[in-house]
A and B are shown apart, each in its own frame.
Chain A
Amino acid sequence: MFNVERWQEIFETLRKNKLRTFLTGLSVASGIFILVILLGFSKGLENGVRSEFEGDATNLITVWTGVTTKGYKGLNPGRYVQMKNDNFDLISEKYKDNIDHKSSIYSIWGAQITYNNESVNYRVRGVMPGQQFIENASLVSGRFLNEPDLEESRKVAVIGQRLKLDLFKNEDPLDKIISIFGVNFKVVGVFTDPGGEREEQQAYIPVSTSQKVFGAGQDIRNMLFTIKMSDNFEEATQLSNQMALAIENELKTIHTVAPDDQSAVRVFNRLDEARKIYSLIATIQAVFWFIGIGTIVAGVVGVGNIMIIIVKERTKEIGIRKALGAQPNSIIGMILQEAIFVTMFAGLFGLVFGLGLLELVGPQIESDFLKYPQVNFNIALTTVFILVFAGALAGFIPAYRAAKIKPIVALRDE
């Protein structure tokens, strides 16, 4: 294997048979290349979806209401269902064993927020302390809203990083006073949210304050709950589904909404959505793997096929070599070593080319569902070795047969 003379002989043969070498290499390199790209995109898809779900807690149940579309128990359709504080308290109390974090919301869209001479129009959300965990938000400075803020309806605000930049530039915002629609609020914290800039433009204030300041009485717009996660994803999804259904029914009963009214009370169960999308991704990945393995199999068959042709084409040469005193082993070795060298080289080339392309194009891709396509290098390298090994195995049989050909028969071959 490490015989310098043999390598010289092989390199010479390869150099003198450029087309054959190129074609063999091309089939192997393109196989690996396609596999790398496929695996990369499959990973990118997964990354994209994961980051979509990263913005908020996965185990989130969101409740919002709308207008009834069906008459029920003497009530006309077209009635707006307004959730109240006591609805939220009732559900929180009833399902407290299953609820991790909770938040009721009363938000103002496009609220005018002013600091000194700077003024912007962003969303202000009246929330509860649990919102921080529901949004996966983390604090850059200061603190988040707390229970006393809520109980005493304090005029405090936690502002997003973007909002902070817009209003305060480089100034420290903590304990400064901002005005929302002319009402003064003290900034107690700055947060960052993986959901991105849109989330970071918001200001959070206590929901009780929001209701008082904006004259909403006991009204709330949304209810958010995260359910306690068990280790078993399926179990958690099931619990989440049950919760979602129970909350929906509860609210429908309270507000006298027809059980089959789809628009009056709506409950969005994120975990169930996540499960669906993850299972979709798992299916897509399985398909990609299937195609990838198919490509490898095709590559192996291709290499084996080329090996057979090479041996056929070189029958006469093998006869000459044998007549000149080549040992059968040296014939097998020559053909195999050549095949392994070409597949290995081409395979690595395809690998590097594929990885390079992913590296180059990957960051340019701006799609919500495709992010950072990348390949596990070890997996890719393993496939190269599998291909080389299988190719060598596929080549061994014709090589072995070639070595067994009687020189006199091989010499007659034209």
Chain B
Amino acid sequence: MITIKDLHKSYHMGTNSLHVLKGINFNVNEGELVSIMGSSGSGKSTLLNILGMLDEADTGSYVLDGVQIKNLNEKIAARYRNEFLGFIFQSFNLINYKSALDNVALPLYYQGISRKERLSKAEHYLEKVGLAEWSHHLPSELSGGQKQRVAIARALASDPKVLLADEPTGALDTKTSYEVMELIQGINDEGKTILVVTHEHDIAQMTKRIVNLKDGVIIDDSKVEQVRATQYV
């Protein structure tokens, strides 16, 4: 599903140049649940942003579902993001003046789907994350865990190839974190490819494979015995 070869990325701040990714090579197959770990500054978020086409690599190749992601202009990047990817952010990034339902329906709007169909699909995904009753509430009326569930429903709504989660539990307490992970595991069980960036070991243990990043290189990449979040909830 994802093939990455020799990926490099540097940031320039004034005269200083920061080499964040120093040649990353890795593959993700369909249906995998991979966590990318590393301390802050290891380059894990940068990697995820490049995977998510929110940022661009300096050199190296990135193939997503057989499509070479290269020299993207804004238009094509927007289309690929919409078709291929679903994002889950640490800070949820819901639009605060839209109801949960409208938030979930937003990616579908950019796919040109009619309002009626959008809303019925959105309702379906909200039900899937267990928030059907909260569909008309604004994000400000929801708890952190509920907001993240809305964000997950939104990420799923466009039926993407890959879900990218950037510290999805970073702003949540342990119990809520496990609930969210349970949901993510459930989605993965249905066959969705999911990448999770985290620095929490217990969260990483709930995925099927851990990629360890340090100073811009992969120091360890191994499959793990998945811990089901259900047993903690």
> Which chain A residues (309-364) contact chain B, with CB distance < 8 Å?
316-317, 319-330
* A contact residues around B106 at 8 Å (CB): 321, 324
Could you mark each residue 389-414 of chain A with 1 if its beta carbon is under 8 Å from any beta carbon of chain B, else 0?
Answer: 00000000000000110111001000
| A326 x B78 contact (CB < 8 A) | yes
Residue of A16, A323, A327 near B79 (CB, 8 A) is A327
Q: Give chain B interface residues in 63-114, CB to chain A under 8 Å.
A: 74-75, 78-79, 81-83, 87, 89, 93-95, 97-98, 102, 106-107, 109-112, 114
* CB of B150 to closest CB in A, whole Å: 12
Contact at A408–B55, with CB atoms within 8 Å?
A: yes
Kindly provide the distance from the CB of A147 to the nearest chain B CB, expressed in whole angstroms: 86
Whether B102 contacts A411 by the Cβ 8 Å rule is no
A323 touches B54 (CB 8 A): yes
With A5-B114, A325-B107, A408-B55 known to touch, is A317 a contact of B95 (CB < 8 Å)? yes
For residue A324, which residues in chain B have a CB less than 8 angstroms away from its CB? Answer: 81-82, 87, 106-107, 110, 154, 158
In the assembly, what is the distance between CA of A8 and CA of B87, in Å?
A: 25
> Beyond A321-B106, A325-B107, A327-B75, is A406–B81 a contact (Cβ under 8 Å)?
no
B210 nearest CB across to chain A (Å): 25
Q: Provide the residues of chain A in CB contact with B87, threshold 8 Å.
A: 323-324
B49:A408 contact, CB within 8 angstroms: yes
Note all chain A residues with C-beta closer than 8 A to B49: 408
* Complex alpha-carbon distance, A13 and B114, angstroms: 18
Minimum distance in angstroms from B79 CB to a CB of chain A: 7
Taking a contact as CB atoms closer than 8 A, the residue among B79, B94, B102, B107 that contacts A12 in the complex is B102
With A12-B102, A411-B54 as known contacts, state yes or no: A325 contacts B97, CB within 8 Å. Answer: no
Distance between Cα atoms of A366 and B75 in the complex (Å): 64
How many Å lie between the Cα of A323 and that of B55 in the bound state?
11
Which of A13, A17, A328, A411 makes the CB contact (< 8 A) with B75? A328
Q: Are B97 and A323 in contact (CB under 8 A)?
A: no
Q: Is B115 an interface residue (CB 8 A)?
A: yes
Q: Does B43 contact A (CB under 8 A)?
A: no
Residues 154-180 of B contacting A (Cβ, < 8 Å): 154, 158
The verdict on A328 contacting B74 (CB below 8 Å), with A12-B102, A406-B54, A408-B49 known, is yes
Chain B residues within 8 Å of A9, by CB: 109
Report chain B residues within 8 Å CB of A327. 74-75, 78-79, 110
Residues of the A chain whose Cβ atoms lie less than 8 Å from the Cβ of B82:
324-325
B54:A408 contact, CB within 8 angstroms: yes
Partner of A320 from the list B75, B93, B114 (CB cut-off 8 Å) is B93
Contact of A325 with B54 at beta-carbon distance under 8 Å, contacts A320-B93, A408-B49 already known? no
Q: Chain A residue with minimal CB distance to B93?
A: A320
Q: How far is the CA of A8 from the CA of B81 in the complex (A)?
A: 23
B216 contacts the other chain (Cβ, under 8 Å)?
no
Q: A70 to chain B: closest CB distance in Å?
A: 85
Q: Which residue of B lies closest to A6 (CB)?
A: B109
Q: Which of B30-52 contact A (CB under 8 A)?
A: 49, 52
User: Known contacts A5-B115, A324-B81, A327-B75; is A16 also within 8 Å of B110 by CB?
Assistant: no
Roughly how many angstroms separate A320 CA and B52 CA in the complex, as a whole number? Answer: 13
What's the least CB distance linking B81 to chain A, in Å? 5
Considering the chains assembled together, what is the distance between the CA atoms of A256 and B109 in angstroms?
A: 97
Given A324-B81, A327-B79: A411 and B109 interface contact (C-beta under 8 Å)? no
Complex Cα distance, B95 from A320, in Å, reads: 8
A12, A316, A322, A330: most-surrounded residue (chain B CB, <10 A):
A322
Q: How far is the CA of A325 from the CA of B177 in the complex (A)?
A: 27
25 contacting pairs across A/B (C-beta < 8 A): A5-B109, A5-B112, A8-B115, A9-B109, A316-B93, A319-B93, A320-B93, A320-B94, A323-B52, A323-B54, A324-B82, A324-B106, A324-B107, A324-B110, A324-B154, A324-B158, A325-B111, A325-B158, A327-B79, A328-B74, A328-B75, A408-B49, A408-B55, A411-B89, A411-B93
Could you list which residues of chain A lie within 8 angstroms of chain B, going by C-beta atoms? 5, 8-9, 12-13, 16-17, 316-317, 319-330, 403-404, 406-408, 411
Sort A-B residue pairs by CB-CB distance and give the 5 closest, nearest first: A325-B82, A16-B97, A408-B54, A325-B110, A324-B107
List residues of chain B with CB under 8 Å of any chain A CB. Answer: 49, 52, 54-55, 74-75, 78-79, 81-83, 87, 89, 93-95, 97-98, 102, 106-107, 109-112, 114-115, 154, 158
